[in-house]
């Protein structure tokens, strides 16, 4: 079955614009250091997805971040105002859209940081009542409630740094996506606080360990990194 899951639309509703000052020494981020000054725009962002299964008659449901939110053929959808997304409560999901259960809307909260939701299509045929749901296509959908125009030189420095960390990560952890801008790189770029320090330390430590003398420690660190990836991106695992 080759029916696609597609992004029908992406819209933003602007709320405001102001200068932003960020001290990344106090609020760690993987590849940012010192104080950055940028221009922040706040908005709510809405993405509408559609599982294009016509003309085949299917009951369609949805799983978000690994949690079934609509059981195909049985789930009735959300209230008209939507429901918080499992694992990402700042993102509201709504289905049906325009009366269609094969469409799903995701909306960010104004001013929120970027969040990526793993969206998985579930379906049954009319003859499969009571049978386990099939897994349809899946995709990572990233939304935010704000955008910041940072100095170009700092962004280029961050890009090079993230690329280096991504190359190191791929030595030790199997990832499902390898192209620039794919979910693993987006995940790395979003890391904040203690989790950013943890991942940076683990990746750098793995690069320095003796694979024979430090085998047990290396395996434990690799398993922890793989677990962090799997919690947000099904399909990632140990290399």
What is the pLDDT at residue 120? 96
Is residue 24's pLDDT more than 80?
yes
Q: Are residues 144 and 42 in the same domain?
A: yes
Q: How confident is the model at residue 1, as a pLDDT? A: 55
* Burial tier of 38 (Cβ tally within 10 Å: 0-12, 13-18, 19+): middle
137, 155: one domain: no
pLDDT classification of 237: cutoffs 50, 70, 90: very low
Length of the chain (residues): 239
Q: Out of 148, 175, 209, pick the residue that ends a domain.
A: 148
Mean pLDDT of the region 47-57: 94
Residues 216 and 106 in one domain: no
Domain match, 102 and 120 both: yes
Cα 34 to Cα 154, 163, 172: the distances in Å are 11, 20, 29
pLDDT of residue 185: 72
Of 102, 126, 148, the domain-final residue = 148
pLDDT of residue 234: 47
Which of 103, 127, 148 is the C-terminal boundary of a domain? Answer: 148
- Within 8 A by CB and 6+ apart from 29, the residues are 191, 192, 196
Domain total in the chain: 2
Q: What is the 3-state secondary structure (H, E, C) of 176-213?
A: CCCCCCCHHHHHHHHCEHHHHHHHHHHHHHHHHCCCCC
Q: Which of 74-88, 160-174, 177-191, 197-211 has the highest mean pLDDT?
A: 74-88
- What are 86-100's pLDDT values in tens digits? 999 999 999 999 999
Residue 143 sits in the same domain as residue 204: no
pLDDT above 90 coverage of the chain, percent: 61
Q: What is the extent of the structural domain holding 228?
A: 151-238
Same domain assignment for residues 183 and 142: no
Residue 46 forms beta bridges with which residues?
A: 11, 107
């Amino acid at each position: 079955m080759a029916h696609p899951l597609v992004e029908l639309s992406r819209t933003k509703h602007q709320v405001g614009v102001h200068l932003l000052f960020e001290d990344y020494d106090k609020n760690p981020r993987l590849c940012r250091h010192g104080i950055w000054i940028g221009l922040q725009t706040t908005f709510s962002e809405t993405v509408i997805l559609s599982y294009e299964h016509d003309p085949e008659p299917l009951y369609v449901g949805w799983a978000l971040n690994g949690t079934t939110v609509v059981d195909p053929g049985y789930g009735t959808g959300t209230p008209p105002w939507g429901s918080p997304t499992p694992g990402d409560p700042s993102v509201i999901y709504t289905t049906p859209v325009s009366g269609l259960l094969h469409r799903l809307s995701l909306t960010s909260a104004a001013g929120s940081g970027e969040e990526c939701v793993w969206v998985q299509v579930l379906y049954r045929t009319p003859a499969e009542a009571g049978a386990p749901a099939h897994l349809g296509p899946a995709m990572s959908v990233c939304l935010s409630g704000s955008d910041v125009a940072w100095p170009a030189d700092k962004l280029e420095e961050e890009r090079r740094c993230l690329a280096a960390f991504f190359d190191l990560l791929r030595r030790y952890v199997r990832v499902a996506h390898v192209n620039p801008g794919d979910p693993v790189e987006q995940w790395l770029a979003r890391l904040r606080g203690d989790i950013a320090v943890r991942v940076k330390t683990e990746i750098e430590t793995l690069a320095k360990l003796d694979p024979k003398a430090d085998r047990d420690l290396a395996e434990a660190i690799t398993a922890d990194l793989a677990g962090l990836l799997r919690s947000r991106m099904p399909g990632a695992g140990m290399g």
